Amino acid sequence: MFEGRPDRGSEIAFVGRSNVGKSTLMREFTGHTFTTGKKPGVTRSPNHYDWAGADFTFTDLPGFGFMEGVEEGTREAIKTDIVQYIEEHSAEILVGVLVVDGKAVIDIIDRHSERGEVPHDVEMFHFLREVEIPTVVAVNKMDKVDDRDERLDALCDRLGLPGPWQQWRDVVAPISAKRGQIDPLREALETHLREQHRDDLLQFVR
């Protein structure tokens, strides 16, 4: 089980496959550079970023799914730790941000579905909602996608959200973290914080 979580009463947690840009996204929100790498699986334990005097932290959970050079047993152990962390802290997690690669996510989901498996991204989305954590899917790397609306509609379909995607702006946020284009995610987070009467935390997502 992960250790070292700051003693904070509220958090926003980022979760997703390896190499989808979670750490880059954390840098956009905090201005702090976290350990990243082209090789998937660099982050093996959570990165937390909190502020002195604020009862709040951002958490970047390790990547799950396939990681080149990482044994399947280790991958499964990491995923189990992620699930346990989310369950244990579900009362403190105000929003769960599931980060996906906008260019690859549909192919990955369909490939697993064709094998009769529940795709990790779909499983994590429904798990977050089952434990009653408001969930935003940050669809990253959208600067590399040409058929934007079609791709986002397809993702909503795979997640069980009836299209068109535009009616789910508090759930689906198309972004490009590397280019600093994350306003749709900021707006979705603001919506969820306001709904939970946590206007005191809006400063951290703006």
Domain 10-204 carries which CATH code? Answer: 3.40.50.300
Distance of alpha carbon 22 from alpha carbon 16, whole angstroms: 7
Amino acid letter, 56? F
pLDDT digits (tens, 9 = 90+) for 19-40: 899 989 999 999 887 665 555 5
Q: How many other CB atoms are there within 10 angstroms of residue 129's CB atom? A: 15
3: exposed, middle or buried (Cβ count in 10 Å: 0-12, 13-18, 19+): exposed
Distance of alpha carbon 110 from alpha carbon 126, whole angstroms: 17
Which pTM does this prediction carry? 0.93
Both tokens assigned to 141? 């790397």
Distance of alpha carbon 152 from alpha carbon 156, whole angstroms: 6
pLDDT digits (tens, 9 = 90+) for 162-203: 989 999 999 999 999 999 999 999 999 999 999 999 999 999
pLDDT at position 41 over 70 = no
The order of strands in the sheet holding 56-60 is: 47-50, 56-60, 10-16, 93-101, 135-140, 172-174
pLDDT at position 157 over 90 = yes
What are the beta bridge partners of residue 136? Answer: 97
**Average pLDDT in the 47-60 region?**
93
pLDDT at position 45 over 90 = no
